Amino acid sequence: MPEIKLPFKHPIVDSYPNYAAVVGIVGAHTDQCLPWIYSYLEQLMTNKSPQLPNWVDYCAPISYLSFPWIDFCHIKRDCIENTESAIISLLQKQIENEIYPYLLADRFYLPYQTNSHDKNHYVHEILITGYNSASSVFYIYDHLEGKYGKYGEAVCSFCDIAKAYIRAHTSGTFDWLNGVVGLFYRTEYDFGCRRAKKDLQYEINIRMFKDLLADYLSSQSSNDRWCYPLSWMRDDELLFGLDVYDGLSGHAQRASEVSGEAVSEMEISGFYCLLEHKKLMRERLINFSGKRIIRNADGLIQENRSILRIAELLLIHVLKFNFSRQKDNSDHILELIMTLKKEDTIFSQHLYDAIDI
């Protein structure tokens, strides 16, 4: 086949590739996933120690394992011949069967990653959505360095993708995917006593959302709500909910510390996720208002607008700091983080009180 492009819609959640991949795939087929997202993606977590990377993420189950509209087939690394031709053939075969390959790649070998290509080794997840055999390229969705880390589409040669996959596992990086995960949209659903052969209908779980909001307000872990048996993430090494702002402050403070003439760059991903969290709340409130789930919806939407503006301003100042590396700019960043925490605390309590269940 000369060209295949599988359907993909830019996702409402795109700060990290695991959420972006599944939401983009499902969103291209149905909007029924939105109630699930509104119900479960509320609690946040980050590293407690500022010595560790500035990673802010949703405290929720792994997306492709728990998302009801996604199924997957996992091909372990040891089952894949470690040659470029074999990997290219596997990826093409998956796409031809309407399966989206999801895999690790080293940015050093990806020409579209303008900051890292031929300079820095950085292993991360990418999603392949199609290929063109005439041009010998794959169509990729990834966080693009040339667009300040925004999630978007790129094109990369067959050989570069295969090389990036092979090298990602020969540099000593932990292979957290252990091979290639093939994602595909479910057309049949079998949950034991519940079976369906049409679009899965999902209603907002307002009780779960309110429980997660309570955890967010009290800065308590939500991991127990998912019935995790054991986890590599220790709760005593993490911050949750409103305490995430304190973690961001610690990372920002560390980045601004001067050692000689050097000032560190602030890791941007945590601030992107924080902004996305506020945008997602805006969409959630609009949805809740239409369904009359909450009281004083208009007032809460107005409060959210104010919070969203502060989060946008915070991200802009972090980007400016990374370009200028001037320590004076960091003081304003710390002020914005604390202002955002104060506003978010008041808003979240108002929202909690507005839910009658």
* Whether residue 175 is found in the same domain as residue 276: no
**pLDDT tens for residues 143-161?**
998 777 889 999 999 999 9
Residue 213 lies inside a defined structural domain of this protein = no
Region at 331 (left for phi over 0; alpha for psi -120 to 50; beta for the rest): alpha
Question: In CATH, what number is assigned to the domain containing residue 168?
Answer: 3.90.70
Residue 46 lies inside a defined structural domain of this protein = no
* Whether residue 19 is found in the same domain as residue 157: yes
* Whether residue 168 is found in the same domain as residue 300: no
* Whether residue 16 is found in the same domain as residue 145: yes
**What is the arithmetic mean of pLDDT over 224-252?**
80
**pLDDT tens for residues 95-121?**
999 999 999 999 999 999 998 888 988
* Whether residue 348 is found in the same domain as residue 245: yes
Q: Is a pLDDT exceeding 60 seen at residue 337?
A: yes
Residue 234 lies inside a defined structural domain of this protein = yes
d(CA 65, CA 21): 12
pLDDT band at 260 (very low <50, low <70, confident <90, very high): very low
d(CA 211, CA 124): 32
Residue 195 lies inside a defined structural domain of this protein = no
**pLDDT tens for residues 162-206?**
999 999 887 667 788 889 999 999 877 666 666 655 666 788 999
* Whether residue 122 is found in the same domain as residue 14: yes
Q: Is a pLDDT exceeding 80 seen at residue 60?
A: yes
Domain end marker among 155, 185, 215: 185
**What is the arithmetic mean of pLDDT over 33-49?**
92
* Whether residue 153 is found in the same domain as residue 98: yes
Overall domain count for the chain: 2
Q: Are 275 and 13 in contact (CB under 8 A)?
A: no
* Whether residue 174 is found in the same domain as residue 243: no
Q: Is a pLDDT exceeding 70 seen at residue 228?
A: no
Global pTM exceeds 0.85: yes
Q: Which of 23-32, 52-61, 130-139 has the highest mean predicted lDDT (pLDDT)?
A: 130-139
Q: Are 266 and 54 in contact (CB under 8 A)?
A: yes
* Whether residue 165 is found in the same domain as residue 234: no
- The parent domain of residue 119 ranges over 3-31+70-185
Confidence (pLDDT) at 179: 93
* Whether residue 240 is found in the same domain as residue 179: no
Residue 212 lies inside a defined structural domain of this protein = no
pLDDT band at 259 (very low <50, low <70, confident <90, very high): very low
**pLDDT tens for residues 185-197?**
987 766 666 665 5
* Whether residue 9 is found in the same domain as residue 105: yes
Point out the least confidently predicted range of 42-46, 111-115, 258-262, 344-348.
258-262
* Whether residue 27 is found in the same domain as residue 135: yes
Domain end marker among 154, 185, 216: 185
Residue 124 lies inside a defined structural domain of this protein = yes
Residue 210 lies inside a defined structural domain of this protein = no
Percent of the chain with pLDDT over 90: 63
Residue 41 lies inside a defined structural domain of this protein = no
Domain end marker among 135, 166, 185: 185
